[in-house]
Amino acid sequence: MATAPDNKNVPHSHRLPTTHREVQRTFTKLSRQSLVSLAQQWLSKKNRDFCKPYLLSDRNDAEDEDDEEIYEPAQSYEELQETYRELATRKGGRREVLDRILEGDWRTGISMYQLATAEIQYLLDHPNALRWTAKRLTKIANVRSAVTDMEVTNDSDHLPRFQAQTFMSNLARELTPLMKAHYLMTRIKTSPMTILRVYIHDSPYSTESSLAADTSSTDSAKAVFFVWPNGSPFVYSSLATLTGQVVGDDGRHLRDMVQQAIPKAFSRPSARYQLTSTNFTTKSLDALLTYRGPGKSNAATGGWSIFQDHSFSQNALDFITTQRGDGRDKVGAEKNTSNGVTKPGPGRPKRVAESTETPEAKRRKAVAAGRFGTSAQADDGQGLERFEVRIDDSFPSAEGRETVEGDTSNLEARTNTKTKKGRPSLLDRTAEDLEQIQSEEGWVPNVRVSFQGTHVFAGIRQLVEEGLVDGEKMPGWMTGEAGVTIGAVKEGRIRSKGGVPGI
């Protein structure tokens, strides 16, 4: 077969040998349950064309029948489906299914489609496996029709139109001259989003042999994930790294290439889009759906979360003001009391557990509930693992009421010495920022605060409840209400560009 460079995508049906590193890496991570369900999915009628298993009819007659064969090839698809159905009902080890897939039924190779679905399955099983950056598709203002752009009419559309087929063909048109890639786009039943996986094949060829060949090359990540939450202007992007894998410059560069192609694929004549940063990066997909998702929660995080569930505004026909029974959960009750919306009912029997708390601890809990609302619970699965701010306020003067702890004498020295290495941080001040700072009075040291942990805001909430952080004097950005993971603080508030938050 001639191997001339071509202008095609990598099709679903191209197969990788089962010993290929990507295959091994992906498949060994999956659970038994996931493997079985994947196999069943591959065997369903519409996927058979690109997930061909090794059947008895495939066996070459010339080939000697190997007696040491562990897995007898199946006669038909139906027989295989039955086998996996049986495996699904039975309990057993993960290895059993894994070996059956890789050494038995798909010994001739794992197709690109199979690899892609396996990787997406892993992502759904472990929603905190990757680090995601949320971006927004923003319309570039049209100079000529700036007025009509923002008009709200009966048939105006303010979100980019998302039509999977059109988008995919546009994206492929943008990318194929630059690289070969395999695309898989799928909607997810369990959460409101669409996933696109792009497997980057950095080669001028799109043949099967060239796919299998490049195992020897770099260890960098080959796949990029993009997630569109339904009905919102956001895009989350992530490089599919595995634990311990380094993101090489190559990988990052390829991801950027795909990322740049995305707004172009969305654009239509007279409606051009660009990707803008939303200052939000996290590992948790659930948190992303809360802070940059399709629902009501985007611009009502932190203490404002009481507005999105019904703890602040009951149904307009609900006239009951007293607590509803004692079986109601404690959180709900506390939340109500602290917001001054409903006071505890008279003579409400107190729980034993509550009465052991000192009044001071109870007050702190109430303060925390008032500041954090229903958000920042340690077990809500929406943990942000990193939150960074830069303080742009001038240093409190000597007569100021704030006392500065610690030795500040060498602060200036430290800020002046440029010992930092590596990539410039997003928090580095731009020339514009510096100019603005210099024009103000007072000394503005370069202070950055960074919070890290499994769930930063739940941690801060706990600190407030324990009395280590004063819940009443604590600035609002410490409750997570700004909805960013990186930001600059000015006059005690996270700076924003203006405009309506959260959309």
Partner 1 sequence: MATIDNLDADIASLQARLATLHAHRTNLTSVLLSQPHLSTRLQAPASKPSSNTDPALLAITQQSTRNHSNIHRACAGVTAYKVRDPDPHAINDGAILGVSIDVALSGKFIETYHALLNWVESNNGSKTLRIHKHTIPPCIPLQALANKYLPTAGKNGDEEVQQDLVRFGRSLRKELVSWHLRVRAIDALRKEANLTAPKPEYTEPHKVLNAFTSDDEDEASSEAEEDDAPARILDIEANTAARQVMVTWSDRRTAMLSVSKDGRVEKAVCKMRDGARDAEMSRKALGPIGGLVKRLKA
Restricted to residues 158-197, the positions that interact with partner 1 (CB under 8 A) are 158-159, 161-163, 186-192
Pick the stretch among 156-164, 219-227, 268-276, 355-363 that binds partner 1 (CB under 8 A).
156-164
Which residues 49-88 are close enough to bind partner 1 by CB under 8 A? none
155 binds partner 1 (CB under 8 A): yes
- CA angle 217/18/111 to nearest 5° reads 90
Question: In angstroms, how far is CA 96 from the centroid of its own chain?
Answer: 32
Q: How far is the CB of 295 from partner 1 (least distance, A)?
A: 6
Q: Least CB distance from residue 33 to partner 1, whole Å?
A: 6
Q: If DSSP codes are grouped into helix, strand and coil, which group holds residue 105?
A: helix
Instruction: Pick between residue 5 and residue 492 the one whose CB is nearest to partner 1.
Output: 492
Minimum gap (Å) between residue 186 Cβ and partner 1: 5
Scanning 18-26, 96-104, 152-160, 428-436 for contacts with partner 1 by CB under 8 A, the matching segment is 152-160
Our CA angle for 308, 310, 311, nearest 5°, is 105
Reported as half-sphere exposure (CB side, CA atoms, 13 A), residue 432 has a value of 0
β pairing state of 110-111 and 234-239: unpaired
Name residues whose C-beta falls within 8 Å of residue 2's C-beta, 6 or more positions apart in sequence.
none
Per rule CB under 8 A, is residue 395 in the interface with partner 1?
no
Q: Is 140 in the site for partner 1 (CB under 8 A)?
A: no
413 near partner 1, rule: CB under 8 A? no
What share of residues in the chain are helix, strand, coil (percent, to 5)? Answer: 35, 15, 50
Of the candidate residues 66, 432, 441, 491, the single one contacting partner 1 (CB under 8 A): 491
Select from 9, 26, 34, 375 the one that contacts partner 1 (CB under 8 A).
Answer: 34
Which stretch, 35-43, 74-82, 200-208, 445-453, contacts partner 1 (CB under 8 A)? 35-43
Buried b (16+ CB within 10 A) or exposed e, 267-291: beeeeebbbeebbbbbbbbbbbbbb
For residue 448, what are its two tokens? 């950055």
Nearer to partner 1, 240 or 254 (CB): 240
Q: Which is nearest to 162 in space by CA: 255, 301, 265?
A: 265
Token pair in block for residue 380: 């809500």
- Looking at the Cβ atoms of 51 and 224, the one nearer to partner 1 is 51
342 residue type, one letter: T
**Least CB distance to partner 1 at residue 231 (A):** 2
The neighbour count for residue 379, using CB atoms within 10 Å, is 8
Is 371 an interacting residue with respect to partner 1 (CB under 8 A)? yes
CB of 93 to partner 1, least distance (A): 18
- Tell me which residues in 117-136 interact with partner 1 (CB under 8 A): 117, 120-121, 124-125
Which letter does DSSP use for residue 489 in this model? E
- Return the residue of 40, 128, 241, 374 that touches partner 1, per CB under 8 A: 40
Q: How far out from the chain centre does Cα 321 lie?
A: 39
By CB under 8 A, name the one of 93, 269, 327, 424 that touches partner 1: 327
Candidate ranges 53-61, 238-246, 273-281, 486-494; the one touching partner 1 (CB under 8 A): 486-494
Measured between alpha carbons, how far is 172 from 262 in angstroms, rounded to an integer?
Answer: 10
6: nearest Cα among 248, 268, 50, 14: 14
- In the region spanning residues 421 to 460, those forming contacts with partner 1, defined by CB under 8 A, are none
Decide: is 33 part of the binding site for partner 1 (CB under 8 A): yes
CB 64 within 8 A of CB 58: no
Choice from 13, 18, 41, 245 touching partner 1 (CB under 8 A): 41
Total residues at the site for partner 1 (CB under 8 A)? 90
**70: which residues sit within 8 A by CB, 6+ positions away?**
99, 103, 104
Which lies closer to partner 1 via its Cβ, residue 159 or residue 246?
Answer: 159
If the CB atoms of residues 282 and 298 are measured against partner 1, the closer one turns out to be: 298
Task: For residues 97 and 87, give the distance between their C-alpha atoms in angstroms, rounded to a whole number.
Answer: 8
List binders of partner 1 among 210-269 (CB under 8 A): 230-234
Furthest C-alpha separation in the chain: 94
Closer CB to partner 1, residue 191 or residue 210? 191
Q: How many residues does the chain have?
A: 503
Nearest approach in angstroms of CB 324 to partner 1 is: 6
Q: Is 370 in the site for partner 1 (CB under 8 A)?
A: yes
Q: Tokens at residue 8, please?
A: 């095609």
Does position 37 interact with partner 1 (CB under 8 A)? The reply is yes
Instruction: Return the ∠ at Cα 410 (arms to 409 and 414), rounded to 5°.
Output: 150
Instruction: Restricting to residues 284-323, name those near partner 1 by CB under 8 A.
Output: 294-300, 303-304, 307-308, 310, 312-313, 315-323
Say how many Å lie between the first and final Cα of the chain, rounded.
52
Interacting residues with partner 1 between 465 and 484 (CB under 8 A): 472-476, 479, 481
Give me the torsion for CA of 453, 454, 457, 462, rounded to 10°. Answer: -90
From the CB of 10, what's the least distance to partner 1, in Å? 19
- Beta carbons of 72 and 53 less than 8 angstroms apart: no
Secondary structure of residue 307 in the 3-state scheme: helix
For residue 163, how far is the Cα from the chain centroid?
Answer: 22
Taking the least distance from each CB to partner 1, the nearer of 44 and 145 is 44
Interface residue with partner 1 among 64, 151, 402, 441 (CB under 8 A) is: 151
Nearer to partner 1, 98 or 299 (CB): 299
Query: Is residue 325 within the footprint of partner 1 (CB under 8 A)?
Result: yes
- Residue from 2, 45, 329, 416 binding partner 1 (CB under 8 A): 45
